[in-house]
């Protein structure tokens, strides 16, 4: 099992007395059913839910998102014929992209749950709960220092690129400048989160050495 698959497994399953706690996927925290599973059941769930090549899966996933953006932009351009997108065009691109994402997520959710339902029906429900904050904490702890640095640097570079693009669009008085400026703030926020977690990890390591 690759390191990334091991990290996904650490996020998906929480060790508890008597086995592992598993949270039903694609559900809100308040509505998700939790199950107590043993090693054999855990292995079955891992085989059904965790990709064999998670890096390739993520590349395919983000490539699909980029393709949806391109399709939305091309569709609006072909429909309107505008050389430079107007505010209405920009809104249309965002709405079309969001619609594609919702449809894709719905199909993915249906496919995953369809494969999981026969196995979930055999699992023992548990009153224990995995909170979202606990899952996020485990996910951060499972990441290596190198992964945190890469995530922080990538987010910072994306924020810078979006900010520069937004500034250029703003200087040209293009309505898409608002989109790029907002996107730069989103990536800047992500960079702050990753670097803060890296700082917390370093401080925790210093305390442990003392």
Could you tell me the residue ranges of all domains in the chain? 143-210
State the average pLDDT over residues 35-50.
Answer: 88
Tens-place pLDDT, residues 88-97: 887 888 889 9
What pLDDT was estimated at residue 185?
94
CB of 130 within 8 A of CB of 12? Answer: no
pLDDT reported for residue 179: 80
The mean pLDDT of 112-118, rounded to a whole number, is 88
10 neighbors 142 (Cβ within 8 angstroms) = yes
Task: pLDDT band for 2, please (50, 70, 90 cuts).
Answer: low
Band the pLDDT of 99: cuts 50, 70, 90: very high
> Would you say 162 and 183 are in contact if contact means Cβ atoms under 8 Å apart?
yes
Pick from 120, 116, 134: which is nearest to 16 by CA?
A: 134
DSSP SS3 for 143: coil
Which residues does 142 contact at the CB level (< 8 Å), separation at least 6?
Answer: 6, 7, 10, 11
Q: Which residue has the higher pLDDT, 176 or 36?
A: 36
Integer Cα distance of 108 and 162 in angstroms = 29
The model's pLDDT over 122-134, given as tens digits with 9 standing for 90+, comes to 998 988 887 776 6
* Residue 164, pLDDT score: 93
Choice between 121 and 26, residue whose per-residue pLDDT is larger: 121
Report the C-alpha gap between 184 and 52 in whole angstroms: 33
Say which range, 35-39, 84-88, 195-199, has the weakest mean pLDDT: 84-88
């Amino acid at each position: 099992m690759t390191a990334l698959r091991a990290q996904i497994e650490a996020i998906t399953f929480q060790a508890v007395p008597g086995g592992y706690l598993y949270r039903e996927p694609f559900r809100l925290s308040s509505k998700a059913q939790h199950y107590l599973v043993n090693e054999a059941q855990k292995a079955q769930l891992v085989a059904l839910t965790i990709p064999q090549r998670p890096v390739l899966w993520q590349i395919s996933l983000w490539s699909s998102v980029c393709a949806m953006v391109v399709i939305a932009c091309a569709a609006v351009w072909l429909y309107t014929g505008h050389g430079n997108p107007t505010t209405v065009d920009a809104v249309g691109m965002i709405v079309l992209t969001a619609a594609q994402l919702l449809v894709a997520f719905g199909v993915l959710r249906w496919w995953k749950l369809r494969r999981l339902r026969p196995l979930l029906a055999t699992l023992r429900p548990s009153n224990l709960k995995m909170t979202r904050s606990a899952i996020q904490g485990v996910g951060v702890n499972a990441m290596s220092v190198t992964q945190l640095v890469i995530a922080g640097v990538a987010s910072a570079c994306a924020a810078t690129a979006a900010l520069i693009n937004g500034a250029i669009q703003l200087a040209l008085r293009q309505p898409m400048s608002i989109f790029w400026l907002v996107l730069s703030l989103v990536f800047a926020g992500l960079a702050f989160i990753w670097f803060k977690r890296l700082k917390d990890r370093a401080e925790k390591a210093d305390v442990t050495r003392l």
